[in-house]
Amino acid sequence: MKILVAGFERFPGVDSNPTETGVRSVDQWAKTNGSIELVAEVLPVEFESAGRRIVELVDQVKPSAVICFGVAAGSPAFLLERCARNMDDAVIPDNAGAMPSTQVIVPSGPATYSSSLPLNAIHHQLQKADFPVEFSDDAGAYVCNHVFYVACHELAVRSLQIPCGFIHVPCPCRPRWTTARRWTA
């Protein structure tokens, strides 16, 4: 069984992204523990290149599951994302300077994809370990949602019915920008 685990590099307004550190730790653990094959990747915080890279990884790795992580700046809890929306709508530029506004990700794609991760079981395990956790129906409109949607779409196009989803991790960091939206990357 191969599990593809992806996180992100730092994004504008936040000094560090704990998912980058987490994915690098998972990668080191996977190299020393042969019980589960984990393929860990830190994605760029760039709409186009992160979307392309997740498609390449699905093609190269042929995973049994895809789990992506992003940071929810200022969130006190893990956010188990239930759906990805077919819309990019950035309020700040990505690391390449792109700032799409109400842009459809896949013109022929459905409006949303649902997570196929066992979210109830993940919620239970996080609660059991005394981590704050919530369900979320909004993965944002930044690179996190983009990668989540593209990964789900790629699996659907390939008719691969494997678990795929997105989890935002809490970050006590306060972004250096302000917006009415909950901002995630």
User: Which contacts of 22-31 are long-range, i.e. CB under 8 A and separated by 24 or more positions?
Assistant: 22/69, 22/169, 23/69
Q: Strands 164-171, 78-81: parallel, antiparallel or unpaired by DSSP? A: antiparallel
Residue position matching structure tokens 């690179």: 143
Cα 45 versus chain centre, distance: 11
- In this structure, are residues 28 and 124 in contact, taking their beta carbons and an 8 Å threshold? no
Strands (E), 74-148: 78-81, 83-85, 112-114, 133-136
Per the residue annotation, which of 144, 152, 164, 171 is the catalytic one?
144
Among 145, 125, 142, CA closest to 133:
125
Which of 20, 81, 153, 164 is the catalytic position? Answer: 81
Which one of the listed residues 9, 152, 168, 171 is annotated catalytic?
168
Q: 124 an active-site residue? A: no
Q: Catalytic annotation on 168?
A: yes
- Is residue 144 part of the annotated active site? The answer reads yes
Positions annotated as catalytic residues are 81, 144, 168
